[in-house]
Structure 1
Amino acid sequence: MARQRSEALAVWIRAGRRDDLAGGRAAIGPVVRTLLLVGAAYVALSILRAAPWLMWLVTAAWLRAAWRATRAPAKDADESLGDDSAGPDVTAVLALLAEVLGDADRVHLSTVLAHLQKQGQGAGWKVADLRARLEALGVPVALKVKVAGVPTRGIVRANLDRHFPGWETSPSPATVDAS
């Protein structure tokens, strides 16, 4: 649950970046959002130090949220990227990854998800949903893939070569139907 919360906060911070600006002005949003989180954490810790009995309420809320997270079924975790009723179409997913990777040797899952959503697929998915589907297909997802100085989950071409020899040369459909 802590990992989900931290990933959600990281996505929220990254969403503050403005694409219509360049340079340091584009990064003002993430900086402000990070400062807001740091300020909120400071205020929360100050309140807890002043009234330590509130920690019982925080602990109860955390335990309830953790229990609910384990009780809830994985949201569409067994759905595949492909729409093949006989099973997931790994070749279509590999073709999509080859298209997104292009000449690069690594790509973030957020970039793959954005590419899918530009094609009108994967609406409402989060990076965690995409990761669960890829892992269910046996596609290796690396924990920290560094692209443009940002480390996060992603796909590494060498891992795909190791798990699926000749995956880029196999004939496959150009798009993946993820509906």
Structure 2
Amino acid sequence: MTRLQDLARRLVDGSSVLVRRLAEPVAAWVRKGRRDDLTGLAAVLGCIVRALLALLGLYLLWRLIRAVPGLLWLIAPLWCWRAIRAAPHTATEQATEEAPEEPQTDPRDAVLRLLYDALGDRPSMYLSDLLQHLQEQGHGKDWKVADLRTRLEALGIPVEMRLKTGGRGASRGVVRAQLPPLSQPDPTAASPAPSTAA
């Protein structure tokens, strides 16, 4: 793959990440409009109003760009820059730099080994706890929980949306039983993450 093709792929992947990052808070805000103390249409009326307001905001943004097309000269480069930075491809590069593997090793295997190491003997773990563990090991220093979730999903690693563990409330996390197997289940002794040997 040429450098230009790689850049184009990162732009596409990063754009989908940015769209999800922008859509998730809006969707959460719309869901908060639901009233649990009511039933029927009255219960979801708040959600409908909030969804209409979100659509109105998109319409006004479209009208603004139509009225002042010069704004695209600011928006497009900024979007491209943010998309390339948000692309999951950067996570693969960072994982291979920070936790060196053999060149032929599947990048997902490197991440799975980090996950198994973080889980230890636990059946599940919140993403917030997992991120803290990874950052203590020197991975993803500037990441937020949403960044970690996006990167895991990009690698095909399932994330449980409403995990309950340790008597805490429901939150996103990983479950050992849901993790895919390693493509190389018996790696060389030098491969495991540093904390596995401890």
Asked if residue 155 in structure 1 is aligned to residue 152 in structure 2, the reply is no
1:121-158 deviation digits (Å, cap 9, x = unpaired): 21111111111211222211121111222211111011
Unaligned stretches of 5+ residues in structure 1: 8-54
- Residue 126 to residue 167, structure 1, CA distance change in 2 (3 Å): farther
| Selected match of 1:77 from 72, 81, 88 | 88
Separation of aligned partners in 1, 2:172 and 2:146: 10
Separation of aligned partners in 1, 2:118 and 2:158: 16
The 5-angstrom pairing of residues 127-142 of structure 1 reads 127-142=145-160
- For residue 60 of structure 1, give the secondary structure of its aligned residue in structure 2: helix
- Residue 137 to residue 5, structure 1, CA distance change in 2 (3 Å): same
Asked if residue 145 in structure 1 is aligned to residue 168 in structure 2, the reply is no
The 5-angstrom pairing of residues 94-133 of structure 1 reads 94-133=112-151
Task: Give the deviation of 1:105 after TM superposition.
Answer: 0.5
Preserved CA contact (<8 Å) 1:98 1:168 = no
Asked if residue 164 in structure 1 is aligned to residue 175 in structure 2, the reply is no
Separation of aligned partners in 1, 2:127 and 2:164: 11
Task: Give the deviation of 1:6 after TM superposition.
Answer: 8.0
Asked if residue 93 in structure 1 is aligned to residue 101 in structure 2, the reply is no
- Residue 59 to residue 97, structure 1, CA distance change in 2 (3 Å): same
1:51-99 deviation digits (Å, cap 9, x = unpaired): xxxx98x9438964xx98xx56271333226226778522221221111
Code of the aligned partner of 1:82: A
- Residue 136 to residue 61, structure 1, CA distance change in 2 (3 Å): closer
Unaligned stretches of 5+ residues in structure 2: 1-21, 29-51, 66-74, 98-102
Structure 2 counterpart of 1:4? 25
Separation of aligned partners in 1, 2:105 and 2:150: 15
Structure 2 counterpart of 1:16? none
Task: Give the deviation of 1:168 after TM superposition.
Answer: 7.2
Structure 2 counterpart of 1:173? 192
Separation of aligned partners in 2, 1:153 and 1:6: 16
Aligned length: 124
Report the identity percentage. Answer: 36
* Structure index of larger Rg: 2
Separation of aligned partners in 1, 2:155 and 2:119: 18
Separation of aligned partners in 2, 1:169 and 1:146: 31
Higher helix share: 2
Code of the aligned partner of 1:83: T
- For residue 132 of structure 1, give the secondary structure of its aligned residue in structure 2: helix
